[in-house]
Structure formats: structure tokens, C-alpha cells
Amino acid sequence: MDFLEHGFEFEIINALEAEGLLELSSTKRTLIMNKKGMKAAREVLQRINIDGVEKQLKQREYHEEYINYTSPLDIMQEEEDE
């Protein structure tokens, strides 16, 4: 699958991946917004302050729980990286 066929700009995807905000699956067929990317996206939405954004973000508070949750696997990965 070519992301350009689906309206994605590969340079942007590469930049977001380099920043650690997106991940490509091992097959390169799926884009995954990780916790860091989700947190950054929410911060951008709050900064630009579009009408109704706070209400929308409030309705998706479970994202905050996900962003802030540290699983045992995350802890193990952090320990390995040290």
C-alpha cells in the first residue's frame, strides 16, 4: 500500500516518525499514533483553541488515561533502554 495513494505526504509521515509521534507497522501498511503523538496532538488542539475543542477533548478523557498509563511492558522497555 502506498500512503501517497491515500492522501498521505510521506515527508510529513517521516518527520512525525522521526519525532517519535507516529509509528509505522512492521509491514509499513499501518500508521500508529502512539501516546507521545496523541499527547502532542491534544496540546496543539488546545493551543489553537478552535470553538468546541475543549468539549470534544473532554468527551475523550479516556485518551488522557491512555496517555498517562504506564504498563508493565512500558516499564520493562524503559529499564532495558537505560
Q: Where are the domains of the chain?
A: 1-33, 35-72
Q: Which residues contact 42 (CB under 8 A, 6 or more apart)?
A: 57, 63, 64, 67
DSSP string, 63-75: HHHHHH---HHHH
Write down the pLDDT at residue 1: 43
17-71 confidence digits (pLDDT tens): 899 998 887 777 788 888 888 888 888 888 887 888 888 777 777 767 776 677 7
Q: Are 72 and 56 in contact (CB under 8 A)?
A: no
Write down the pLDDT at residue 19: 92
> What pTM was computed for the model?
0.57
Tell me the C-alpha distance between 49 and 69, whole Å.
26
Q: Are 36 and 20 in contact (CB under 8 A)?
A: yes
Whether pLDDT at 5 is above 60:
no
